[in-house]
Copies of this chain bind each other. A is one copy, B any other.
């Protein structure tokens, strides 16, 4: 991922240093397990633990010759450890190291993403409570529908990201496995107990059955989950882009004092962060496709998945980390305009109360069909002109024939729409 969309903590996971560090830990833990089982000398395992290290430049140098990264790594390690290093990697295959390492990296990445989600949830909750009762119009199809509150909008986002957290926890579990099962996964060379010991040491579960590779349906499920989360990022970003548009302007991204919205038009304050998030969501979604195609490896394994994962492993997690962090900042800094929400709501001349009038008419004994026609007839006058809905209704004898003026006026009360906000907040945030 390009530096522009990369944060150091996540990037570090995917750097050679971390990868080789994990490899060394896997090899060392495996050596210790072998020593415990009496398969290699205790001294060898101790030497590896004590002196085990590597040199990245040296690895690159060797790999250029042998064209095999794990062999290059082992050679570098043996140059630090000495002759005891020959007991390393006994009966193991490269995949044992590579796949267990990838899974550990994905677990590390998931942990950062989970922390990102926690911060985002916190921001959403804080702003949701702040605007719990800030009345604003709810829109369906982009058209004013009925009143809601801005807090409910944020509570909705909270609930969605809370589900995403659960999904990501499940996805983390999916990839939190370790395989030390040797060539084609039969444990012919490495004793299965080594896998159990290494898994425990790394905080992973043993992969019940692997075929040299850890099965890629796990990774497909992982990256598909990131794609779902990206969709939620896009949903919130799209909402903010809508709210900031000139004609709506109910909320906007915080605008820095030195900031320039446009090189040509000095008046512009654009929702560029949210637009950026929309694009990042497309990227993360796109990364799910090759991950899904990676499942069908040939026979016990082929290595077609590798180039895909070398790229989307970092790219998808780094981009999503960046996006979640950016979204949290946008939510934290979101400037909200309650007065504008009120004045926008008034724009439809009271039409947002059409359903209430419909129900009142029905309750007064008018058939649903007739009531609908009656309300729509008056509503369309308001829609097409500058009329006021309440006025029109009070002047329509068919309406006043069924409802008193007091009854009609009662349908225009905003409190009616917010009476269950507490209930919903309890459902979302708990008591």
| Interface-side segment among A114-122, A239-247, A394-402 | A239-247
CB <8 Å contact, B231 and A139? no
Distance in Å from the Cβ of A316 to the closest Cβ of chain B? 10
One digit per residue, 1 when the CB lies within 8 angstroms of any chain B CB and 0 when it does not, for chain A 142-183 equals 111111100011011001100110010010001000000011
One digit per residue, 1 when the CB lies within 8 angstroms of any chain B CB and 0 when it does not, for chain A 186-203 equals 111100100000000000
One digit per residue, 1 when the CB lies within 8 angstroms of any chain B CB and 0 when it does not, for chain A 291-306 equals 0111111111111111
- A259 vs B383: C-alpha distance when bound (angstroms): 15
Distance in Å from the Cβ of A58 to the closest Cβ of chain B? 15
Distance in Å from the Cβ of A27 to the closest Cβ of chain B? 11
CB <8 Å contact, A228 and B295? yes
Q: Is A342 at the interface (CB under 8 A from chain B)?
A: no
Q: A221-B167, A265-B354 are in contact. Are A142 and B71 (CB under 8 A)?
A: no
| Interface-side segment among A47-55, A85-93, A105-113 | A85-93
CB <8 Å contact, B289 and A304? no
Q: A228-B221, A266-B355 are in contact. Are A302 and B142 (CB under 8 A)?
A: yes
- A422 vs B217: C-alpha distance when bound (angstroms): 24
**Residue of A215, A242, A260 contacting most chain B CB atoms (<10 Å):** A260
**Residue of A155, A265, A307, A375 contacting most chain B CB atoms (<10 Å):** A265
Q: Is A276 at the interface (CB under 8 A from chain B)?
A: yes
- A140 vs B314: C-alpha distance when bound (angstroms): 26
- What B residues does A281 contact at CB under 8 A? 296
The 23 listed contacts between A and B (C-beta, < 8 Å) are A65-B258, A66-B260, A67-B256, A67-B258, A68-B259, A91-B359, A138-B185, A140-B184, A140-B268, A141-B272, A141-B298, A145-B184, A145-B212, A147-B186, A159-B209, A189-B359, A209-B427, A217-B235, A266-B355, A267-B348, A267-B354, A279-B306, A282-B290
Q: A4-B310, A217-B163 are in contact. Are A265 and B145 (CB under 8 A)?
A: yes
- A285 vs B102: C-alpha distance when bound (angstroms): 23
Q: Is A56 at the interface (CB under 8 A from chain B)?
A: no
- What B residues does A155 contact at CB under 8 A? 209
Q: Is A30 at the interface (CB under 8 A from chain B)?
A: no
CB <8 Å contact, B142 and A245? yes
Q: Is A352 at the interface (CB under 8 A from chain B)?
A: yes
CB <8 Å contact, A271 and B354? no
- What B residues does A344 contact at CB under 8 A? 246-247
Instruction: Apart from A143-B268, A209-B427, A289-B289, list 12 A-B contacts with CB within 8 A.
Output: A90-B362, A93-B265, A141-B268, A147-B186, A148-B211, A163-B215, A188-B419, A220-B231, A227-B292, A241-B302, A247-B248, A268-B354
- What B residues does A140 contact at CB under 8 A? 183-184, 212, 262, 268, 270, 299-302
Q: A93-B263, A209-B152, A224-B224 are in contact. Are A143 and B244 (CB under 8 A)?
A: yes
CB <8 Å contact, B292 and A231? yes
Which residue of B141, B164, B269, B358 contacts A264 across the interface (Cβ within 8 Å)? Answer: B358
Q: Is A287 at the interface (CB under 8 A from chain B)?
A: yes
- A238 vs B248: C-alpha distance when bound (angstroms): 17
CB <8 Å contact, B263 and A369? no
- What B residues does A258 contact at CB under 8 A? 65-67
Q: A268-B140, A289-B289 are in contact. Are A296 and B86 (CB under 8 A)?
A: no
